[in-house]
Structure 1
């Protein structure tokens, strides 16, 4: 029991660290404000690939990479996930660069609700009543912004959609985070190299012309990408999905606070209404998840108790039968 509690505490700590790093990642991308978004994406791909290659070498994970590359189905899935995660990264970096961090935050708030819809459509998962209510609330928030204010939260929708599809396909692949991300960056690597060394012609595209501090920031893209993933992977094997789902709101919440209170993005009426509906939806969604988890625990406990009672009854019957047979044997003698 002590070991289980220790693992849970470690998992919670790792999850919090992971989501805090994801939540404050905009600070890093803001520091690269002079670098074009696609150029940042290319550096993110290249240095993440190198960092992951080193990690796989240290952890002797190359065998898993080889086995994965032999599977045609997994390779096809990873080709698609490479595109979706590339789009997600690019839109996120672009949103930060044009001062739309609130929209990025909204996208990651919507993502858990979008995942529920994807599960219903592609995995035949049934939605409970409160889940339907939560999805309806979120939809109303987006519709109000569209109809009343005439604005479409396109960044939020693209981020939620791309990351949701990415998560769904990665679930289909059933592959560990590091092997999968390594192959995804491997797929994107030629595009990143070709753009940086053949097409990019900006003030920051040539590392030899950059300051040391800027180059260090660009190279750090690999660490910024993979370090939270390391912590998340460690948390995922120690915690229940419900616990991880609750902790994940740290990320977009930190983005929201940074956008409003640090970078001064306007919290306009359309965003206030949309966020209000999304937050209400998440409260309902989280409450339903916790309540369902509690009911499942009670049901499991009741089933264990019933199984134990049946086992005890069976043992008692066997003992009674043995006693009767023993008594009959004595009477026969």
Structure 2
């Protein structure tokens, strides 16, 4: 997919998050199919759709390059397992009337990303990030006490998607969306196909026994999986990171509204209190990220304007600043 201008990029990004936000309504109409069957079809039909995209865009060679790299293929295989776990738990949440729990998982995801930056990438937290994580941890405690159990659906969704994002961002950053998803679904396809064959042999499969409409809806899962990802990939190429970061809240807000307003899920006081704490944490995290981004840009502009910072000055002689780190902190002197 070619690069868009920023205005169309914003539309593409918003479209991706809105489509992801509507998924609970889609999965509710697949109710005759259980979560595992839905995920198996999602993997197979996504592979079919990706194959069509690779054919139209003539990018099969990019997939071949991925498959010939043991390291890249191994990382994408791990990403595929995390993605399948995320899909399975999300569909389970929708089909067991816990869409609000699923929305909590994606609200918590930015906090998980910050935690991974510290534990895996060994980055240092700013004070505001510590405050945000503290509010997030308190929210989990409040929700656990209110529920009488740990909100495991939310935590598994946040952890699996956070780890998936870490692999895609740091491990296989150079792999484009369509070849990457094609490789991931190619890893899942043999298991998905075997599961569906066994399921139908036992008489429990729903693809052929509930009419053409149901079969078409299951096949549509490939489109509804791949299209938002391709839209997001196109948007991320042209939009500022701060805009992408703000757009990510569209999906969990839609899930929350669908769960409460359309599906009638209960919101007892403990659940409201837990969500309020999460929203406070996200507000602190977002404001801090915006400030850090502005600070990094100001320092970067100052570095360009400083005399003696041209190409003739080498590293370590005081003539340049190091680049901003992954957490968005301002550059530091080497």
TM-score clears 0.5? yes
The question of whether the paired residues in 2 share the 8 Å contact of 1:68 and 1:74 is answered with: yes
Higher radius of gyration, 1 or 2: 1
Report the counterpart of residue 134 of structure 2 in structure 1. 136
Match of 2:68 in 1: 70
Inter-partner Cα distance in structure 2 for 1:41 and 1:202: 18
Alignment of 1:94-105 (within 5 A): 94-105=92-103
Higher helix share: 1
Query: Is the CA contact (8 Å cut-off) linking 1:10 and 1:238 kept in structure 2?
Result: no
Match of 2:46 among 45, 48, 51: 48
Q: 2:207 & 2:84 partners in 1: Cα distance?
A: 22
TM-score (norm 2): 0.87
Q: How many residues align?
A: 306
Residue 92 of structure 1 corresponds to 90
Q: Which moved more, 1:238-247 or 1:131-140?
A: 238-247
How big is the alpha-carbon RMSD for the aligned residues of Structure 1 and Structure 2? 1.9
Which residues of 2 match residues 1-333 of structure 1 at below 5 A?
Answer: 7-147=5-145, 149-171=147-169, 172-174=171-173, 175-200=175-200, 205=205, 207-307=207-307
In the superposition, the TM-score normalised over structure 1's length comes to 0.87
In the TM superposition, what is the alpha-carbon distance from 1:145 to its structure 2 partner? Answer: 2.2
CA distance in 2, matches of 1:127, 1:282: 15
The runs of 5 or more residues in structure 2 that have no matched partner are 311-334
Give secondary structure in 2 for the equivalent of 1:209: coil
Asked if the contact 1:134/1:285 (under 8 Å) is kept, the reply is yes
Map Cα deviations across residues 248-297 of structure 1 (whole Å, 9 max, x no partner). 00000000000000000001222111101100000000000111111122
Q: Secondary structure at the match of 2:93?
A: helix
Offset, 1:125? 2.1
